Amino acid sequence: MIRTVFGLVPREYTSLTPKLVAAILAQALCQALAYVLLVPVLEALFGGDTDRAWFWTLWLAAAVAGVVVLSYVQAVVGLRIGVGMQHGLQTALGDHLNALPLGWFGTQNAGTLSRVVVENVREVQGLIAYLLAKMLTGVVVPLGVAVGMLFVDWRISLAMLLAAPALYLVNLWANRSYSAADERLHDSASEANARVLEFAQAQPVLRSFGAVGAGNKALDAALDQQRKAATGMLLASVPGLMVFSLCVQAVFLVLVYLVVGEATGSTISVAAAIALIAVSARFIEPLNQAAQLGTALRSAVAAAERVSTLLAEPTLPQADTPVTPGAPSVVFEQVSFGYGDGTSVLSDISFTVPAGTTTAIVGPSGAGKSTVLRLAARFHDTDSGRVVVAEHDVRDQPSETLLGQLSLVFQNVYLFNRSVLENIRAGRPDATDAEVRGAAEVARVDEIAHRLPDGWDTAVGEGGASLSGGERQRVSIARALLKDAPIVLLDEATSALDPHNEAVVVRGVHQLTRDKTVIVVAHRLATIAHADQILFMEGGRIVERGTHAELLDLNGRYAAFWNERSRASGWRLEAAPA
């Protein structure tokens, strides 16, 4: 358990970990010694032996001074590790997320990731900075007192030594159902976070269909599930805490009973009895504190396990040897791929896109068209076969080299909540303002900037929420134009745009793909007809290939697809007959 937490301490702080543990243990032992020394001090005072009282008081003062100094040391070291741990862990998680397959992010929701990276990391930091000292003190101080009591009264010491493991077992029993309840709370909280984010981003859609407030069943259900999980957590922890507290108080009563019995039997003096009762109270206090912190400790350990699990997610193997890209061609050689659930998405796909040519991929939904683009960009590794980009296997290229050859324009455009200029500059961070504006003008983003309140410096909202779908596509085209990569992967998304935006985006695409190697998942008839090569996919396979004229002459599935699209493009509303 604790090993998992210490395993997350950044390397530059691992040398401080033994110092932290040593300081906590030494502070706890000094505290236990101070409690035990109360017995001879009180006994000497009540007995009127001033010299002996001063002797033990000096030892008591030394023990208290040790507690003060060591508490300061462990607090400083713990806080230093904790703060460094938060920064180091979040940096490590960021680096790890950057190394994960791009396709991995499609299976995760923002609620889960933000909870792990922010909340769980904060819980782990708190464990090192605060909880560890309190938990170790809650164990070491009672044991130290019990051992120290051997030099005062072995019967009381034996009772304490027997009580400690018994209370530990009661604590284990009381919290046996906590882990499952904590996991349910984590899952429900992640789901609620995701639904709240979705609710905020999808207001236009929700309002247009009246799915707001009580009508938004997904959000309501997620929040209700989180409430039930929180209640379940309470029901799982509170009864155990109450049972443990009762057992602790029972132990204290037993100790008092033994002390009073010995005092009345003249085995020990009244002064010693008073001191022993005080020490027994000090013996009980850390145990109660440890029990109260037990829930927080288990929650922090569970958080550490989630962070460790995320850090253990397998990354894509990265090539260490630099390569020099060749001609900007793309080759798929007998590629098969599935998403891990046993369902095949692509089966034995082979084709070549020569440098400077355009290949259009068409076919019904679910045929695997977009997956081809993602494999070319190495969102995933193939199950078999290989993908060759710029004359090198994508697995043999460092990610920076591979992605440097590609401009990706997909259907779902994500914009950062920053200015229009900054969103375009993401295509090439070292570009000058003139280059950014030049790319923006080609994609006609200048039209958008001129009507925004702060012009080019206007923040576009989370995900580009303040822009329309067509306007976001224009920014995406400008970003790709600025990058000016030799290979363009284009999931053409103009079918849902209004005529003006479609015309602007199409002009931008033409400029983007001029003299480039292009693979396009095509929706527009003009794009399909002018491609150098057309691949018709169905069921994860290429069932027809050729030029537009060749495939029409074949009069097969592509011809049927073309005819259907041609009829659909000329649809119009007509008045119903009277």
- CA atoms of 313 and 296, how far apart (whole Å): 26
At residue 456, does pLDDT exceed 70? yes
What digits encode the pLDDT tens for the residues 476-493? Answer: 888 888 888 999 998 866
Cβ atoms 341, 383 nearer than 8 A: no
Cβ atoms 158, 47 nearer than 8 A: no
At residue 519, does pLDDT exceed 80? yes
Query: Whose CA is closest to 489, among 471, 512, 468?
Result: 512
More confident residue, 157 or 312: 312
- pLDDT averaged over every residue in the chain: 78
Cβ atoms 137, 20 nearer than 8 A: no
pLDDT at residue 209, rounded to an integer: 45
Please state which CATH number belongs to domain 330-569: 3.40.50.300
- CA atoms of 389 and 328, how far apart (whole Å): 7
Cβ atoms 222, 191 nearer than 8 A: yes
pLDDT at residue 574, rounded to an integer: 53
At residue 221, does pLDDT exceed 80? no
Determine which of 231-240, 374-383, 440-449 has the lowest per-residue pLDDT on average. Answer: 231-240
Give the start-to-end residue ranges of the domains of the chain: 2-311, 330-569
Written as six digits, the tokens of 201 are 């981003």
pLDDT at residue 295, rounded to an integer: 67
Residues β-bridged to residue 409? 490
Q: Is 151 exposed, middle or buried (0-12, 13-18, 19+ CB in 10 A)?
A: exposed
pLDDT at residue 349, rounded to an integer: 93
At residue 291, does pLDDT exceed 80? no
Share of the chain above pLDDT 90, in %: 17
Query: Whose CA is closest to 142, among 63, 281, 246, 32?
Result: 32
What Rg do the C-alpha atoms of the chain give, in angstroms? 35
Determine which of 258-267, 356-365, 463-472 has the lowest per-residue pLDDT on average. Answer: 258-267
At residue 336, does pLDDT exceed 90? yes
Residues 565/567/571/577 CA torsion (nearest 10 deg): -140
At residue 360, does pLDDT exceed 80? yes
pTM (global) more than 0.85: no
Average pLDDT on 530-550 reads 91
- CA atoms of 461 and 375, how far apart (whole Å): 30
Average pLDDT on 418-443 reads 87
Q: What angle do CA 500, 444, 472 make, to 5 degrees?
A: 75
At residue 366, does pLDDT exceed 60? yes
At residue 287, does pLDDT exceed 80? no
More confident residue, 207 or 147: 147
Average pLDDT on 310-324 reads 84
Pick the CATH number of 2-311 from 3.30.365.10, 1.20.1560.10, 2.60.40.10, 3.90.1570.10: 1.20.1560.10
At residue 227, does pLDDT exceed 60? yes
Average pLDDT on 305-322 reads 84
More confident residue, 297 or 374: 374
Average pLDDT on 37-65 reads 84
- CA atoms of 235 and 178, how far apart (whole Å): 9
At residue 215, does pLDDT exceed 50? no
At residue 144, does pLDDT exceed 70? yes
Residue 448: C-alpha distances to residues 57, 484, 496, 541 (Å): 80, 22, 19, 41
Please give the single-letter amino acid code of residue 553.
Answer: D
Q: Determine the length of the chain.
A: 578
Q: What angle do CA 336, 309, 4 make, to 5 degrees?
A: 150
